[in-house]
Amino acid sequence: MKYLFSILFLLTILSNSFGQTNFRPGYIITNDQDTIIGKIDYRGDARNMKICSFIQEGRTEPTDYEPGRIHGYRFSDDGKFYVSKYLNLEDVQDTVFVEYLLKGITDLYFYRKPLYSTYLLEKEDGEMLELRNDQVEVKRDGQVFIVENNRYLGMLNYAFADCPNLYNDITDTKLSHESLIKITKKYHNYVCDDELCVIYEKDIPVLRVEIMPTIGYSVSILNIKTLELSKINMDPGYSSFVGLWVNWKLPQINEKWSVLTGVTIREDYYFGHYERHPYDYSDAYYDFHLFSTNISTSFAFKYTFPRGKVVPIFFAGGTATFEIEQNFTENQEKRIGNRVSVRNIDLGEFYEMGLQPGFILGAGVEFPFLKDYRLFSNLSVSNVWNGYMDEFKFRRTWGAFSVGCIF
C-alpha cells in the first residue's frame, strides 16, 4: 500500500511541477481592437478559458490577462479563438473567455470549466441562449429512470424559428462542436445572402488513439523471502520482450496528459546457486533454473513535455503480471567421501500462477519519423510481488529499455 501512496504523491508533485508552459504563436486583441503578435501559453480548454499568458514579440517575460482585460486571443497554428464574454447562466455568472466557434447572423461559443461545459448561441440582438442536455428523473411503471431531456433542441428551434426548413435538421443535431457548427452555418446560409459565416474551430477530435508497438530488453532481479528458498543466490535475469501499448489522448481537454495501457510478453530466465559444506568429507551443490513466460498489463498516466521536435515524456501507474508457464528445476550434486550422486528434480511452480500486482515508472523521448509517424525510446522500472507487500514470498523488479513506433 505504501508504494501506491508513493506513486499518488509523486503524481501530485509532478502535476504541479509539470505545469510547464507551452507557448505557441498567436496574438491578442485588445479592447481597442488592436492586434499584438507574440506567443500564447496553451494548456487546454479549462485553463485557456480562465487566463491568457502572453509573451509579446521581442520580449521574454509573459503577461497574464484575465477575461475582460482584453477582447480576446487566438492561436495561429490551430486557429483556436477565445473572446471575453459576461455569462449570466444558471451555473456561471462571471466574465470568462469562451471559445469562438462560428461567427455569423447567430454566433456560436463553447465554454468549459472543471466538471461543467456548455454551448452558447448569441443572437443579433445580443440575447444569449444556453444549449444544454439535462438529466431528469422519469417514473414509468412504478420505476424511476434517468433520461436526457434534450433541452438544447428546444433552444435551437427557438433561435432558428424564422427558418422552418431546418426543423428536421435540428432534430438530428447532436450536442457537439461539429454538429452545432453545421446547423448554425446552415441557418446563416438560409437567412443571409451577402455575407459568409466564419468558422474558427479546428476539427480537433474528443479522443485520439495512438498505437505503439514496442520491442526491448530487460534486466530483472528476483528477491526471495520464502524461508526454504531464501538461501539461494539468484543471479539477475536477462530477457527480450515485445509489447503493444495504446495511448489514449483527450486533446480538447489537455494535450499534455494522456492514459497509457499496454501488454508486454517476456520470457525470463534466472539461475541460482547454493552450497553446503557440513563436514570435511561431505559437500552439496544445488543449481536452480527458473524459466518464466509471463504477460504484463499496465495502466499509467503519461505526461508529455511539448517542447521542440524531440519530446521528453514521463509515465507512472500500476501493472499486473500473469504467469503463462513456469519451469523450475533443481540440479543436485552431493559428495559423501568418495561417493558422488547427481539428481535432477522438477520442483513444479516456484510461485503462484495468479495475478501479481505492482507499479511501473518510466521516462523517455519521442521524435518524428518520416511524415506521419514518430519513434520513441523509454527506460522503465517495474515491480511486482507475490503475497502481501509486508509479507511477500517473492518480488521481481525489471529495468527495461524499449523502442518502438507511434502510429
- Percentage above 70 pLDDT, the chain: 88
Query: Strand pairing of 107-113 and 116-122?
Result: antiparallel
Domain ranges of the chain: 21-199, 208-406
Average pLDDT over residues 197-221: 87
pLDDT in tens, 298-342: 999 999 886 667 889 999 999 999 888 888 888 989 888 888 888
pLDDT in tens, 21-31: 788 899 999 99
Phi, psi of 149 (to 5 degrees): -90, -5
What is the CA 217 to chain-centroid distance, rounded?
A: 25
Residues 382 and 398: beta-carbon distance below 8 Å: yes
Confirm whether pTM is higher than 0.75: no
C-alpha–C-alpha distance, residues 253 and 205, integer Å: 10
C-alpha–C-alpha distance, residues 262 and 404, integer Å: 13
Q: Tell whether the model's pLDDT for residue 392 goes beyond 90.
A: no
Q: Which of 183-187, 237-241, 383-387 is least confident?
A: 383-387
Which CATH architecture does the domain made up of 208-406 adopt?
Beta Barrel (2.40)
Show the cell assigned to 199.
468558422
Under the banding of pLDDT at 50, 70 and 90, the label for residue 15 is: very low
pLDDT in tens, 223-277: 877 656 667 888 999 999 999 999 999 876 777 889 999 999 999 999 988 888 8
pLDDT at 18: 46
